[in-house]
Structure 1
Amino acid sequence: MEMKTESEITEIIKNDPWMMNILQVTAELGLPDCWVCAGFVRNKVWNHLHGRGREPMNDIDVVYYDTSDTDEETEKKIELQLLKSVPHAPWSVKNQARMHEVNGDEPYASTADAISKFPETATSVAVRMNDSQALQLLAPWGIKDLVNLEVRPTPHFKEMPPGYTVYEKRIQEKGWNKKWPMVKVFSRGGVLYD
């Protein structure tokens, strides 16, 4: 199987009723600059390219950007709201207007800015349902690495000092190339991991 375009990604999501329900429920919250991101999209693409169906998710990352309320408790309330709509779903809600503090970065300007600072380019991708029920994809670093099954650090993480090991720890913990055998994982120096 091959995939090259954003529309091919949105098409496989459209054909998954569970994913569409997640996007619908999230859109109904009306949160500003709100997206469902990371593994929600990445795993769908990689499963598709490996000829697999959707598998259970560790979490459903909902991200939004609201400078008027950066209280972490608000995120927990939103998670409870989402659980009422889709029980047993592993919701994780984060307001990106506060996450720079958690990550030790300068304040983010938007959800897109925050996503661009995720550790891997293939994870720096999000989707949402707009007001007309159409799907929009957000990929600050493009989709090339995602559809080519390549894990590389985002420029933000590539520039981190040598002792900063968040990217390397994620590579070890996630084991992406074991779960998806066609995935190639590259170090911050561009070397292919075994």
Structure 2
Amino acid sequence: MIQTKQDIIQIIKKDAWMMEALYTAKSLQLPDWWICAGFVRAKVWDVLHDYSERTPIQDIDVIYFDTENFVEQEEKRLERILQTANGHYPWSVKNEARMHICNGIEPYVSSEDAIAKFPETATSLGVKLNEHDNIILTAPHGIDDCVQMRVKPTPYFLDNPELLTIYHTRLTEKNWSAVWPKLTFKR
């Protein structure tokens, strides 16, 4: 049973694959870095569905916040470093200091601000290792929707109805109910 942030941290701590990804991402020493979204969400949903095998994820989203160097080529360079370190992981690196441009919205003020503005509350999760290698979990909208397997838009998407098309498109494209049938969705 997963009920608290500490429960999520414990299931990640026991997962050697996830811990290896966290140590690899930490080695980049990026400012305000997190591994977020499906990396955390899928693990929680797999555990809640009693899956013994990991559900494959499209990518491992490593985000950071650096206002000094926000060219896309730097993100690609960092992905190559991660790929060299751990080539069996599907790395994706994004500097949230520039992602507002891609998303056509106001600039983010931090990586956690960006996570808060992801499309779904259940996806608005991030983890990283602190200086003592303890797992830190951020959940700007809490963990209830993720652990209750509810998929709904974040307040940011609800406050900006023009963004709801993105949310609905993601629900169709991701087809999460085919993988995790216990999910419920707010359309």
TM-score, normalised to structure 1, is 0.93
Query: In structure 2, what is the equivalent of residue 181 of structure 1?
Result: 181
| 1:67 lines up with 2:71 in the alignment | no
Task: Give the deviation of 1:23 after TM superposition.
Answer: 0.1
Amino acid in the other structure paired with 2:121:
T
Distance 1:86 1:183, change over 3 A: same
TM-score, normalised to structure 2, is 0.97
CA displacement, residues 106-127 of structure 1 (integer Å, 9 cap, x when unaligned):
1100000011110000000000
CA displacement, residues 18-55 of structure 1 (integer Å, 9 cap, x when unaligned):
11000001111100000000000000000000001322
Distance in 2 (alpha carbons) for counterparts of 1:163 and 1:132 = 39
Identity over the aligned pairs, expressed in percent?
49
Distance in 1 (alpha carbons) for counterparts of 2:6 and 2:169 = 32
SS of the equivalent of 1:9 reads: helix
Query: In structure 1, what is the equivalent of residue 170 of structure 2?
Result: 170
Aligned length: 186
Deviating above 6 A after TM superposition, structure 1's stretches of 4 or more consecutive aligned residues are none
Distance 1:84 1:162, change over 3 A: closer
Distance in 2 (alpha carbons) for counterparts of 1:88 and 1:63 = 19
Query: In structure 1, what is the equivalent of residue 34 of structure 2?
Result: 35
Distance in 2 (alpha carbons) for counterparts of 1:111 and 1:7 = 21
CA displacement, residues 116-149 of structure 1 (integer Å, 9 cap, x when unaligned):
1100000000000111010000111000000000
Query: In structure 1, what is the equivalent of residue 143 of structure 2?
Result: 143
| 1:13 lines up with 2:12 in the alignment | yes
Task: Give the deviation of 1:162 after TM superposition.
Answer: 5.5
Query: In structure 2, what is the equivalent of residue 46 of structure 1?
Result: 45
Are the aligned partners of 2:158 and 2:164 in contact in 1 as well (CA < 8 Å)? no
Give the unaligned 5+ runs of structure 1: 188-194
Distance in 1 (alpha carbons) for counterparts of 2:162 and 2:93 = 30
Distance in 2 (alpha carbons) for counterparts of 1:162 and 1:82 = 35
Give the unaligned 5+ runs of structure 2: none
